[in-house]
Amino acid sequence: MIKPSLLLAAASHTAMGIAVGLGFAFLATHITALGIATLINYGPTPDVVMIMFVGTCAITFGIGATLTGLAITLTEDPDNTGRE
């Protein structure tokens, strides 16, 4: 049975991953030395390409953080001894 704490942990890891993905997309498009914004602006529909780039970064980082967080959470050994 799925515990609510596991769902909350997965949701928080997803939110953190999406936030990191948005930050990465922001930095990648605002660092001129990378040339990503220039490449996007030369396309026929730069608005659509920018939205796709940002969405792809956010979804990729979100899925990666969710899977990593679930792997770490599910393999933790719960300490029920009461010791600190």
Q: Per-residue pLDDT tens for 31-77?
A: 999 999 999 999 999 999 999 999 999 999 999 999 999 999 888 87
Q: Which pTM value belongs to this model?
A: 0.84
Check if the beta carbon of residue 50 is closer than 8 Å to that of residue 40: yes
For residue 45, give the H/E element and its range. Answer: none
